[in-house]
Amino acid sequence: MIKVENNIPVREPIPNFIAQPDPASMPEWYASLLDLSWTDPQFGLQDAAWWPEENADVALGTNKKWGAGVLTLDADRKVVVVTRKQVNMTAAEKAARDALIAEQWTTQIAARRYTAETAGTTIDGMPIDTGRDSQGLITGAAVQAIIDPAYSLHWKTSAGFVELTGQQILGVASMVRAHVQACFNREAALLDAVADGTITTAMLDEGWPT
C-alpha cells in the first residue's frame, strides 16, 4: 500500500491507529484506506489515502540492475503503478555476478560428475560398482594381479559373484579407470563451457559415460 496525498504518491507506512482487522474483514479494511475522510481531523489524513501498488516491471536487461522505483497514479482504478528503473551494472558488479554464477555452475557440475562417476558401469556383461570404495578395491586387486599373474578371485557384482582371472582383473581395473576419467573429462569440458559462456542447463545431463 502506498500513501497518496494531493495526487502525490509516496512510500509511507499505514499509521498504527488504523488497526489492521482480522482476516475476515480485510476487504472492507482495504476499501476504507482508499478514502480517509472518515478519520479524525487531528490526524491530518482526511485528504490522504493508501492505494494498492501494482508492479509493472519488465524483464531485467543484460548487465542491468534495478534502480529507483517510479510511482505513477492510476486514478481510475485507484492503484499506484510501480515501475523500477533499470540502470547499468558497474564493472565490479558484473565481475562479482559472473564469479558467483561461475561458482554455482562449478558446484553443480562437480555434483553431476560425482553422480555419473559412482553410478556404475557394465564390463563384458558384468555390472561393476564404481563407487569410491569399489574403485579402491579394484585398484588393490589389480596391483595384486600385477604382482602375481596367476592370481584370481571371486568378485561380487550386483548380479552375484563372478570368477576373475588376473588378466580379467586388470581389464576391469582399466575399464573402470577409463569410466572415471571420462567423467572428469566431461567435467573439464563443461567448465570450459562455463568459462566461455556457452554452458546450458541441458548440457549437465549430456556426454556422461555409462
Q: Express each pLDDT in 30-84 by its tens digit.
A: 888 888 888 888 888 888 999 999 999 999 999 999 999 999 999 999 999 999 9
Nearest to 52 by CA among 18, 12, 13, 3: 3
Helix (H, G, I), strand (E, B) or coil at 150: coil
201/111 same-domain check: yes
110/82 same-domain check: no
Tell me how many domains the chain contains: 2
**Which residues, other chains included, contact 158 with Cβ-Cβ below 8 Å and sequence gap of 6+?**
120, 127, 129
The amino acid sitting at 175 is: M
C-alpha cell at 182: 571420462
Report field, pTM of the whole predicted structure over 0.75: no
Contact by Cβ (8 Å): 74, 29: no
- Domain membership of residue 33 (yes or no) is yes
Domain region containing 59: 2-88
Q: What is the pLDDT of residues 135-174, one digit of tens each?
A: 999 999 999 999 999 999 999 998 999 999 999 999 999 9
48/76 same-domain check: yes
Edge-first strand listing for the sheet containing 8-10 = 8-10, 2-5, 48-51
